[in-house]
């Protein structure tokens, strides 16, 4: 056999074990040192962090991080500790109660933010955001300050239908409750698709002045105007009627309601839903088109009047890094980047609708409506109401869908009136823009 190649002799097993132990101990020490350095740097403020709570999860959270958070982190060398939750209201309430609220929060409800402002939990923003870039319905002054502004907006007074569905076919479908796609489920916030319907019906039938009085707690739930909106919704979607339709609506998540549009054969034709639903797979597949909701609502008389909603940014801890994040989120660049990445829109006066050819026609049209100075925009009434009233309204919509008898409706509205009357509730000073 050949002689072994020249070179050092292999280490004995015991020597190899001692070497491995030495390497392992050294690696562990280095890891501890590295961790200590990271903690030390953060403790010394050399890697500042800002905490942010919002409702975006999954794909939306990824888009938000890519379009908005990562550019901020690169520019300012500030780490954003992002927490996304579909139950953000409950999470925020628990964290505030525990004394560990986030620095910045994004909520859909100005009514909820108004309650926190009344508790002196929020910090004024007028020194951090440009003046005049957001109208009063989006950045509503309260107690002499501005406490929130919109990062993302949506239009709600619209009805979606598949491409190729003619006007006569749409009007016929609107008179058939089984042709309306409706899903009331939304986890802890179930029922809001029903409140959207009732709010929009009241707005289109009675106009913005009546709508605003009601949304600000100055019009009884048992008034003829409000009661008419509830009964119109009952007739339109078949509340309290066919058990199969009611059960379908009560057991369907709002995100899945439009799946019936692309069923074979289709099981519904129309959906009264906000602009964000166009990004759902069924409406993309059906090449969804929209028109204003007013032609579908019996007795509608309002003109160029729209219900809107938004994701609103507020500040709880006024730290230097939180201030930088607020300025970034209010900047035209961040507003534009998020609206281009996500299904929502910016209502920042500096951003404007997408240029021709850069977005689909429906997207540009919706964006233009949201910033149309001749239009009246009224914020989602339930989102603007104090949280106890908002939550009871959503539950009442579910209960009325199951039992739409006149006696039951009177009971539900009487209960809502009672919940709306305590003097310690915070109501917004306005929810509608006047238009020009």
Domain-by-domain residue ranges, the chain? 49-153+309-378, 155-307+380-420
| 216 and 207 Cβ atoms separated by less than 8 Å | no
| 128 and 330 Cβ atoms separated by less than 8 Å | yes
| 333 and 346 Cβ atoms separated by less than 8 Å | no
| 189 and 394 Cβ atoms separated by less than 8 Å | yes
pLDDT tens over the chain, length 436 residues: 333 333 333 333 333 333 333 333 333 343 333 333 333 434 444 679 999 999 999 988 999 999 999 999 999 999 999 999 988 999 999 999 999 999 999 999 999 999 999 999 999 999 999 877 888 879 999 999 999 999 999 999 999 999 999 999 999 999 999 999 999 999 889 999 999 999 999 999 999 999 999 999 999 999 999 999 999 999 999 999 999 999 999 999 999 999 999 999 999 999 999 999 998 999 999 999 999 999 999 999 999 999 999 999 999 999 999 999 999 999 999 999 988 876 679 999 888 777 766 678 898 899 999 999 899 999 999 999 999 999 999 999 999 999 999 999 999 999 999 999 998 999 999 999 875 4
Q: What is the CATH number of domain 49-153+309-378?
A: 3.40.190.10
Give me the pLDDT at residue 6, please: 35
DSSP 387-398: HHHHHHHHHHHH
Give me the pLDDT at residue 313, please: 97
The CA-based diameter of the chain, rounded to the nearest angstrom, is 107
Nearest of 421, 431, 412, 415 to residue 231 by alpha carbon: 412
Give me the pLDDT at residue 350, please: 87
Q: Please state the φ and ψ torsions of residue 344, each to the nearest 5 degrees.
A: -90, -170
Q: Which fold has domain 155-307+380-420?
A: D-Maltodextrin-Binding Protein; domain 2 (3.40.190)
- Rounded CA-CA distance 154/311 in Å is 9
Give me the pLDDT at residue 435, please: 57
Q: How many CB atoms lie within 10 A of CB 332?
A: 15
Give me the pLDDT at residue 130, please: 80
| 367 and 428 Cβ atoms separated by less than 8 Å | no
For 60, 99, 334, 354, the CA distances from 65, given in Å and listed in that order, are 9, 26, 11, 22
The answer for residues whose C-beta is within 8 angstroms of residue 283's C-beta and 6 or more apart is 160, 258, 261, 271, 277
Residue 132 in tokens: 């005049």
| 300 and 181 Cβ atoms separated by less than 8 Å | no
Backbone CA torsion sign across 117, 121, 127, 128: negative
Give me the pLDDT at residue 46, please: 61
The reply to whether 49-153+309-378 and 155-307+380-420 are identical in fold is yes
- Rounded CA-CA distance 156/436 in Å is 21
Task: Look at residue 99 and give its three-state secondary structure.
Answer: coil
- Rounded CA-CA distance 265/271 in Å is 17
């Amino acid at each position: 056999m050949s002689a072994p190649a020249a070179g050092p002799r292999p280490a004995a097993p015991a020597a190899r074990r001692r070497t491995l132990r030495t390497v392992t101990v050294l690696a562990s020490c280095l890891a501890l040192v590295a961790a200590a350095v990271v903690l030390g740097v953060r403790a010394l403020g050399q890697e500042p962090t800002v905490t942010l709570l919002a409702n975006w999860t999954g794909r939306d959270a990824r888009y938000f991080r890519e379009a908005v958070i990562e550019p901020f982190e690169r520019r300012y060398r500030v780490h954003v500790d992002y927490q996304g939750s579909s139950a953000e209201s409950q999470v925020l309430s628990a964290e505030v109660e525990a004394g560990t609220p986030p620095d910045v929060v994004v909520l859909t409800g100005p009514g909820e933010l108004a309650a926190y402002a009344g508790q002196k939990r929020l910090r004024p923003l007028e020194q951090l955001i440009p003046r005049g870039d957001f109208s009063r319905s989006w950045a509503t002054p309260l107690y002499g300050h501005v406490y929130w502004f919109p990062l993302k907006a949506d239009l709600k007074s619209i009805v979606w239908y598949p491409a190729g569905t003619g006007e006569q076919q749409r009007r016929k479908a609107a008179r058939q409750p089984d042709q309306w796609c409706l899903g009331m489920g939304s986890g802890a916030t179930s029922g809001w698709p029903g409140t959207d319907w009732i709010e929009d019906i009241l707005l289109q039938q009675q106009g913005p002045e009546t709508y605003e009085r009601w949304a600000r707690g100055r019009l009884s739930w048992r008034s003829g105007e409000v009661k008419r909106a509830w009964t119109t919704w009952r007739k339109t979607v078949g509340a309290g009627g066919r058990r199969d339709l009611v059960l379908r609506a009560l057991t369907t998540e709002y995100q899945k309601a439009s799946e019936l549009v692309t069923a074979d054969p289709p099981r519904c034709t129309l959906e009264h839903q906000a602009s964000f639903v166009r990004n759902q797979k069924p409406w993309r597949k059906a090449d969804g088109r929209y028109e204003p909701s007013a032609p579908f609502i019996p007795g509608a008389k309002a003109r160029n009047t729209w219900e809107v909603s938004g994701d609103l940014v507020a500040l709880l801890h006024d730290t230097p890094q939180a201030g930088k994040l607020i300025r970034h989120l209010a900047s035209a660049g961040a507003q534009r980047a998020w609206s281009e990445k996500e299904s929502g829109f910016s209502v920042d006066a500096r951003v404007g609708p997408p240029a021709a050819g850069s977005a689909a026609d429906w997207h540009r049209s919706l964006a233009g409506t949201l910033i149309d100075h001749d239009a009246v925009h009224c914020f989602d009434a339930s989102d603007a109401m104090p949280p106890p009233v908002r939550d009871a309204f959503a539950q009442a919509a579910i209960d009325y869908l199951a039992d739409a008898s006149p006696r039951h409706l009177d009971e539900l509205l009487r209960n809502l009136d009672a919940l709306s009357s305590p003097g310690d509730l915070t109501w917004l000073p306005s929810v509608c823009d006047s238009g020009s």
